[in-house]
Amino acid sequence: MQIAYRARDITEAHIVAGMLEANGIDAYVGGHYLQGAMGEIGAAGFSNVHVDDDDVYRARVLIDEYESDRVVAASQRDEQDKPDHYARWFIVVIVALAWLLWRF
């Protein structure tokens, strides 16, 4: 068994392992007990996804696709999270009206 992926946390490790298993690669997630040693602090870097020696290349190709899809999804999310131009003007108008009503 070799480490195919070093996850940030145990949840991500299980997501990657599930993806690999869905593609016919047996995967094992290690590091469950190491995270408990840190108490309630979110420990990172202890979770690894292991695969058989014969499946390492295929697993890493799938993981590369997974990581590239994550980067694209994050950039699309950033575009969607930009404040709307009209929302800014709406807030400015509301503040101006509130100020005018308060003054008079």
pLDDT tens by residue, the chain, 104 residues: 888 888 888 888 999 999 999 999 999 998 776 655 555 555 556 788 999 999 889 999 998 888 887 665 555 555 555 556 677 778 888 899 998 888 87
pLDDT at 21: 92
Return the structure tokens found at 77.
Answer: 């999310």
DSSP state, 28? E
Distances (CA, A) of 42 to 30, 34, 39, 45, 97: 16, 11, 8, 10, 46
Among the listed residues 73, 90, 78, 9, the one whose alpha carbon sits nearest the alpha carbon of residue 47: 9
pLDDT at 19: 92
- Number of Cβ atoms within 10 Å of the Cβ of 51: 24
| Domain housing 93 | 2-103
pLDDT at 14: 92
Strand ranges in the chain using DSSP code E only, listed in sequence order: 2-7, 27-30, 47-51
**Count of the separate structural domains present in the chain:** 1
